[in-house]
Chain A
Amino acid sequence: MAAKRPEPVQVIKQRRDAALAALLASIPYIQFLGIEFDRRGDELTAVMPYHEKLVGNPMLPALHGGATAAFLEVAAVIELGWAGLWKSVETGALTPDAIAQGDLIKIPKTIDFSVDYLRSGLPRDAYARARVNRSGRRYASVYVEAWQDNRSRIFAQATGHFLMPDSDS
């Protein structure tokens, strides 16, 4: 018996990108901060392009700790939401039309978020990647780190716990 022929690459890419775009479009605060996501397969990199409104100390200048924290939290929530969507996007259970409707997307709720500020955030674009370390039925634990010009020089890291969308608080 012949193996099932893989889907054309543009079909699967379109479905993945549509799912990610719908997830991002559903959260106004992501647009407010100007955060974008770069996708390679299932790997996401959050990008926060530098903007004057993100500054906390105009004398240095340095990014506001709250902007950095929000960036990390967005990266963590999207990683978690994306991991939740991935399976149904891959099987095709989630069609581009259904994704565009957007009502299938449920956002995990933050229980707590703890940020370490390792260096001051420079007036540069910032990047972040999150890792879901535990994903249970009720809650998930996510680690996230952010850097700017040098990948090895992390300027902030955080751990957070999130309530899964389908569990009752």
Chain B
Amino acid sequence: MAIDKTKMAKQFSEAIPHAKALGIWLDDIGQGTAEMGMPYNEKFIGDPATGVIHGGAVFALLDGCCGAAVMSHPDQKGLTATIDLRVDYMRPATPGQNIRAKATCYNVTRNVAFVRAVALDDNDEKPVATAAGAFVTGA
């Protein structure tokens, strides 16, 4: 059962047009956890003076990764939708490097799933961004 759901989440992520447009790939999916990556692309630049990726692209990666973490949680049935998501931008992502996201769905209630996520570039020590949000369960 858990394996089917994991497979479903994987296929779903790969079938998302916006994730595809951003080149987002799925690295790993567990029991309420997900890891994704996004390549550096000049089309995603938000500040031409520095070549740093726009916050919106990082937000999309984190949102998708959080959603996948919710769907992979053993207590979650069916699809999900974001209720709210807050992203803190700690530092600019280094131009030219991939951005990776790791999300954990750390609590699921009857109607709401709570998720945290982090975005990293090649530096594992200092996050590029962190996210915290609530998602609908069983949507």
Contact = CB atoms under 8 A, between A and B. Distances in A.
Interface of A: 26-29, 31-33, 52-58, 63-67, 69-71, 73-74, 77, 106-107, 109-117, 120
Given A66-B60, A73-B59, A117-B83, A32 B43 contact: yes
B56 A64 contact: no
Given A56-B18, A57-B16, A112-B88, A66 B56 contact: yes
A31, A106, A117: which has the most chain B beta carbons within 10 Å?
Answer: A117
B121 interface: no
B37 interface: no
Contacts, number: 131
Nearest to B92: A109
Interface residues of B, number: 39
Nearest to A69: B59
A65 B57 CA distance: 11
Contacts of B8: none
Contacts of A71: 56
A108 to B, nearest CB: 9
Interface string B35-76: 000000011111111000111110111111001000000000
A28 B54 CA distance: 9
Nearest to B89: A110
B31 interface: no
A55 B57 contact: no
Contacts of A32: 43-44
Contacts of A65: 60, 63-64, 67, 81-82, 85
A27 B63 contact: no
Contacts of A106: 49
B9 to A, nearest CB: 13
Given A29-B44, A29-B46, A54 B18 contact: yes
Contacts of B82: 65, 115, 117
A26, A63, A66, A116: which has the most chain B beta carbons within 10 Å?
Answer: A66
Given A73-B55, A73-B59, A107-B47, A55 B85 contact: no
A71 B59 CA distance: 11
Contacts of A111: 88-89
Contact of B56 (A31, A52, A73, A117): A73
B45 A117 contact: no
A65 to B, nearest CB: 4
B120 interface: no
Given A54-B18, A55-B18, A110-B55, A27 B45 contact: yes
